[in-house]
Structures are given as C-alpha cells and as structure tokens.
Structure 1
Amino acid sequence: MADLPQIVDLRQSPTALRVQRGVMRFLRGQHDVCCFAEVPLANGRRADILGVGPRGEIWIVEIKSSLIDFQVDAKWHHYKEFCDRFYFAKPPELDPDIFPQDEGLIVADAHDAAILRAAKDDPLPGARRKALTLKLARLGADRIHTLMDPGEL
C-alpha cells in the first residue's frame, strides 16, 4: 500500500474533506451527477468538485470550511465561466448568511448533503462544454490509470 498514489488532497482541511465527501455522495445519489475532486481549469484555478449530470450539464461546487476561508477567497467568481451551475458548500456549523444570496448553496457533512438554495442555470457555450468534457474524460482515465499502475508515471 505504501506505493499507492496520494488521492487525498493535503491542501484541504479535515472539515473541507468531510464536506467534499458528503457533497459528492449527495450529488451522485440524489441528482445522478458524477463528480471529480480537485479539477484544474483552463484559467489556472482548481475546482473543489466538478460534477457532470446525465444530460452533460456541469456543476462546480466550491467548498468553504470556515468564515476565514470564505473571507480570504477572491477567486470563486472565476469558476462560474466553467459550469452551468455554481454552488458553495459549507459544513452545518458555518452561518449560511455569509454567502452571496444569488449563488447556490449546499450544506454537507461527511455522510450527506442538502441544497439550501438552488443555483441558477447558466448554460455554457458549446465550445467550452466540449473542451471541458474532453478534459474530464482524459482526467478520469488518467486517474484510473494512476491507481491501477502507480509506478508507471
């Protein structure tokens, strides 16, 4: 087991990792949205969760684990150009009123989640959707390959 690749992002706090798990379980189980964690985007940003729905719709979920985490983040606006729906996700103990009222909001723990406020549907342009879908297919295949053959790369 020592030679398996690191699949948990050490930049994430334990709270953020619990929220990530709950959101991903919820999106898969309740919305048929298959999720990727830690997805690099073309603008140099990294989405905490990027999900693809059954009709190809793309959701990005930005996890905020604390008030300070939200206050120091000035980059979340840059994710919206890469998704049809944008959500913040928070742990139960974080005040929901700190988040912008016009953005989607999810509350989550390590086991489940709930949508507190639905995100607006803002469809991606076709060319961007195609490029992002291709990137996700390659990212998924590469991650599976790394798990199957960790010494190869």
Structure 2
Amino acid sequence: MKAIGPWGKWVILAGAIVAALAEILGDMLSASRVVLPMAEAHELPSWLGKIHQRSRTPRRAVIGLGLLSASAALIFDLRPLIEVGGSFMLVWYFITHYAALNSPVRKRHYPAIFSWYGIMGCIGLTIAMPRVAVLVAVGTLTILTLARLVLHRMHPQWRSA
C-alpha cells in the first residue's frame, strides 16, 4: 500500500476493468466475423450474416452475440466453463496454425516455424489442461460435427463450396 499510495489500488482496478472490457470486445468482434460464413452456409440463421451497408460491419452478429453472452452471464455461473473454453480456444489456435501451414508460401506473413511453434504449444497446453475440460470440449466438438454432417446430408443445398 505504501508503494502505490491510497489511490493506487483504484488505478490498478480501473486498468484491470479496461483490459477485461478490451478483451471481451476483441473476442466478440472476431467471433462476429466467424458468424458471417456460418450464416452463409446456413449453419446459423441467415439474418445474422448481413453486413450493415454504412458501417460495413456485421452489426446483427455483434448485437446477437452480445445479447447471448450477457444473458448467459446473468443467468448461469460460467466459471466452471473457463477451462472448457480454454480447450476450445486451443483447438481454434491449432486449426489456425495448421491452416497457415497449408496456405501458399507467397501468401504467408511469417515463416512456417512460427506455425509449428504454435502447434507444438497448443499440443503442450492441451496435455497440461484438466482432462475433464479436454474431454468435454472433444465430446462437444464431436457431437456438433456429427450434427453438422447429418444436417448437410438432409439439406444438400446447404453444402458450402
């Protein structure tokens, strides 16, 4: 307390709140860009995939994700899902690094060693994660993948190119 003074804890708290809000906003904005191709592929309602003409942003997706996130946070205790969410993020990062390795060399922004480093990091962190969280994430992804396959077989017009 002596080092930061009586107002120091409030400055640190304000910084933590701003950092948390920036992280949430960044996640929501990137997730809204994932909603666009999913809506175009009929995996989500098509109205979520509309781009606002003036701002050129997926406004409906941002609002929908914001309402869904806020509702879930108000209704449920989401703390038990933190580790499962981490497992999902590791899958996302793994796929991103793998996709970077498969992109043409002339389109890569960084050398392949960075993608290999990321892949190895994802594998190492997955091994270090609680087994239950990893199993729940794998089970959920398996169920959702199977559901997607069944729905695309039932509705061939939904298949993306």
Q: Which one has a bigger Cα radius of gyration?
A: 2
Larger RCO (alpha carbons 8 Å, 6+ apart): 1
Shared fold (TM-score, shorter chain, > 0.5): no
TM-score, with length taken from structure 2: 0.30
TM-score normalised by the chain length of structure 1: 0.31
